[in-house]
Structure 1
Amino acid sequence: MSDMELQLIKAFFLGIVEGVTEFIPVSSTGHLILVGKWIDFQSTESKTFEVVIQLGAILAVIWLFRDRVFKLLKGSIDRDPVELSFMRNLVIAFLPAAVIGAIFISQIKALFFHPGVVVVTLFLGGLIMLWVESPSRRQGKKPSAVSLETISWKQALAVGCAQCLAMVPGTSRSGSTIIGGMIAGIERKTATEFSFFLAMPTMLAAAVYDTYKHAGELSQADIWVIVVGFLAAFFSALFVVRAILAFVSRHTYRAFAWYRIGLSLVVAYFIF
Structure 2
Amino acid sequence: MLEALKVIFLGIVEGITEWLPISSTGHLILVEEFVKLSLRHEFVEMFNVVIQFGAILAVILIYFNKLNPFSAKKSEKQKMMTIQLWIKVIIATLPAMVIGLLFDDFVDKHFMNAYVVAAMLIIYGILFIIIEKKHEGVTPQATKLSQLTIPMALAIGGFQVLAMIPGTSRSGATILGGLIIGASRSVAAEFTFFLAIPVMFGWSLLKMLKFGFAFTGQEFLLLLLGCVVSFVVSIFVIKFLMQYIKKHDFKVFGYYRIVLGVIVFLYFTVSGLLA
TM-score w.r.t. the length of structure 2 is: 0.90
3-state SS of 1:133 partner: helix
Task: Tell me what 2:164 maps to.
Answer: 167
1:37 aligns with 2:33: yes
Task: Tell me what 1:137 maps to.
Answer: 135
Task: Tell me what 2:104 maps to.
Answer: 105
Task: Tell me what 2:124 maps to.
Answer: 125
- Paired with 2:245 and 2:70, the residues of 1 have a C-alpha distance of 23
Task: Tell me what 1:252 maps to.
Answer: 249
Amino acid at match of 1:111: H
1:21 is displaced (CA, Å) by 0.9
Task: Tell me what 1:232 maps to.
Answer: 229
Task: Tell me what 2:272 maps to.
Answer: none
Contact 2:11–2:51 under 8 Å retained in 1 = yes
Matching of residues 122-271 of structure 1 within 5 Å = 122-134=121-133, 136-139=134-137, 141-216=138-213, 218-271=215-268
Contact 2:148–2:183 under 8 Å retained in 1 = yes
User: Which segments of 5 or more consecutive residues in structure 2 lack a partner in the other structure?
Assistant: 270-275
1:28 aligns with 2:29: no
Amino acid at match of 1:62: I
- Paired with 2:113 and 2:200, the residues of 1 have a C-alpha distance of 21
3-state SS of 1:138 partner: coil
Q: Kindly tell me: are residues 217 and 30 of structure 1, through their superposed partners in 2, closer, same or farther at Cα, counting changes over 3 Å?
A: farther
3-state SS of 2:22 partner: coil
- Paired with 1:218 and 1:53, the residues of 2 have a C-alpha distance of 16
Q: Kindly tell me: are residues 48 and 108 of structure 1, through their superposed partners in 2, closer, same or farther at Cα, counting changes over 3 Å?
A: farther
Deviations along 1:56-95, whole A, 9 cap, x unmatched?
Answer: 01101110111111137888x9995433322221011111
Amino acid at match of 1:22: E
Contact 2:155–2:177 under 8 Å retained in 1 = yes
Alignment size in residue pairs = 266
More helix as a share of residues: 1
1:38 is displaced (CA, Å) by 2.3
1:210 is displaced (CA, Å) by 1.1
* Superposed CA RMSD: 2.2
Moved over 6 A (4+): 72-75
Deviations along 1:193-224, whole A, 9 cap, x unmatched?
Answer: 11111111111111112112212454544433
Contact 2:67–2:82 under 8 Å retained in 1 = no
- Paired with 2:164 and 2:67, the residues of 1 have a C-alpha distance of 25
- Paired with 2:241 and 2:59, the residues of 1 have a C-alpha distance of 12
- Paired with 2:259 and 2:150, the residues of 1 have a C-alpha distance of 36
TM-score w.r.t. the length of structure 1 is: 0.90
Greater Cα shift, 161-170 or 250-259: 161-170
3-state SS of 1:37 partner: coil
3-state SS of 2:136 partner: helix
Q: Sequence identity, in percent?
A: 36
